[in-house]
């Protein structure tokens, strides 16, 4: 069972607490807009010169701040990272806030007949060409692909999977909680089928209370990934009994998700 992260305060600078949190605005030349980033540093960051893996989260406003989180429900990031520390793992977390009314368009790599969208490739270029270089320049990150994960839920899970399978993707780990595989006529399955099988790890799940279609699509993707050669050490597929499509349920699953991706 997994769990979730939380967001930064609206004001700039550092936030006090067990974690060192930084928040700042960044300009996206790919999308022609500004975006808030929340960077969470592990407790040991200030104690030495160690480099850390990085997890890039979609919907970063939901990670820790109930005032910015959807419905006031966060991913309880601080609790999840404390659990991770107890398991001997630490990471830098980057929460990328979504674009408000532009969220669906940016998180959709394909156009949907009813909902439109389709800016996902530009959004991925924003992550790869703008956000990642900024984080690598400003913080002590591990630079190899296996130490870089991308993660999201719902539409954020969809774009995270798409980014993992892009040719030359810098993300060696991907976490997709309740991904919206249905969007765009399930074209993500075609994208994965036509892609190579990049080395790395993939976490995929669905809640049993999300509806038959969501579980069906997740099972179809899991089967496809297994056929592409992702075995037990490279793929974890979970059907979370009694879980729905909510921040609270994703928060419950997050620590195990992170342990699989970073362990």
**Band of the pLDDT at 15, cuts 50, 70, 90?**
very low
Domains in the chain: ranges and CATH: 13-262 (3.40.50.1820)
> So what's the pLDDT on residue 211?
94
Tokens 């969007």 sit at which residue? 183
Cα distance between residue 190 and residue 175, in whole Å: 19
Beta carbons of 126 and 76 less than 8 angstroms apart:
no
* Complete DSSP assignment for 204-228: EEEETTS-HHHHHHHHHHHHHHHHT
C-beta atoms surrounding 103 within 10 Å? 18
- pLDDT of residue 177 exceeding 90, the answer is yes
Question: Is pTM, for the whole model, over 0.85?
Answer: yes
Among 10-19, 183-192, 229-238, 248-257, where is mean pLDDT lowest?
10-19
Average pLDDT of the residues in 27-47: 96
Question: For residue 249, what are its two tokens?
Answer: 């349920």
Question: For residue 45, what are its two tokens?
Answer: 């960051």
Sign of CA dihedral 187, 133, 91, 146: positive
> So what's the pLDDT on residue 18?
55
- pLDDT of residue 210 exceeding 60, the answer is yes
């Amino acid at each position: 069972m997994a769990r979730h992260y939380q967001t930064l305060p609206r004001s700039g600078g550092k936030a006090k607490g067990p974690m060192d949190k930084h928040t700042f605005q960044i300009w996206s030349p790919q999308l022609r807009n500004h975006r808030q980033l929340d960077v969470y540093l592990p407790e040991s960051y200030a104690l030495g010169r160690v480099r850390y893996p990085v997890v890039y989260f979609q919907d970063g406003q939901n990670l820790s701040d109930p005032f910015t989180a959807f419905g006031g429900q966060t991913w309880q990031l601080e609790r999840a990272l404390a659990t991770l520390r107890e398991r001997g793992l630490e990471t830098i977390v980057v929460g990328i806030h979504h674009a408000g009314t532009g969220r669906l368009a940016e998180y959709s790599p394909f156009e949907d007949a009813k909902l439109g969208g389709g800016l996902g490739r530009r959004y991925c270029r924003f992550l790869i060409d703008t956000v990642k270089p900024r984080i690598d320049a400003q913080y002590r990150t591990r630079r190899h692909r296996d130490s870089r994960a991308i993660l999201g839920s719902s539409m954020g899970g969809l774009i995270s999977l798409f980014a993992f399978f892009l040719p030359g993707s810098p993300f060696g780990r991907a976490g997709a909680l309740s991904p919206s595989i249905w969007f765009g006529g399930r074209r993500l399955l075609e994208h994965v089928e036509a892609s190579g099988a990049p080395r790395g790890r993939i976490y995929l799940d669905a809640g049993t209370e999300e509806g038959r279609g969501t579980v069906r699509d997740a099972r179809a993707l899991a089967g496809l990934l297994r056929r592409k050669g992702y075995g037990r050490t490279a793929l974890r597929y979970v059907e979370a009994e009694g879980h729905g499509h909510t921040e609270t349920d994703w928060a419950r699953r997050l620590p195990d998700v992170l342990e699989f991706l970073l362990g």
